[in-house]
């Protein structure tokens, strides 16, 4: 969740730069790289969590599993990965 939050925070910072005229292209590119790095790290952690929590028998772990899947859907949408988003949405529907 930390890396997801960091990516979103950087996305907001980039949006502010979009409205400024002075030397924002270089800053915007730098921020976009950071957004991508943080989003990718977040996906890696969430995919690992999903793998660990799949088939959990306790209610709290099942809820954590659903939460991780939901967050993956959001990140895949944010990263413009519709095939991966749809695959995870299908998993969520079966829960």
Q: What is the pLDDT of residue 21?
A: 57
Q: Across the chain, how many H-helices and E-strands are there?
A: 4, 0
- Which 8-state DSSP code applies to residue 76? H
pLDDT, residue 11, reads 85
What confidence tens digit (pLDDT) does each residue in 38-93 have?
999 999 999 999 999 998 889 999 999 999 999 999 999 999 999 999 999 999 99
**Is 85 in contact with 70 (CB distance < 8 Å)?**
no
pLDDT for 14-25, tens place per residue?
777 666 656 667
Task: Give the 3-state secondary structure of residue 70.
Answer: helix
């Amino acid at each position: 969740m930390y890396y997801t939050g960091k990516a979103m925070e950087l996305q907001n910072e980039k949006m502010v730069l979009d409205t400024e005229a002075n030397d924002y292209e270089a800053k915007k590119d730098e921020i976009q790289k950071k957004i991508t790095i943080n989003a990718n790290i977040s996906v890696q952690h969430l995919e690992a969590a999903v793998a660990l929590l799949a088939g959990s028998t306790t209610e709290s772990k099942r809820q954590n599993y659903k939460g991780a899947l939901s967050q993956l859907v959001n990140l895949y949408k944010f990263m413009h990965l519709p095939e991966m988003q749809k695959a995870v949405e299908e998993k969520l529907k079966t829960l």
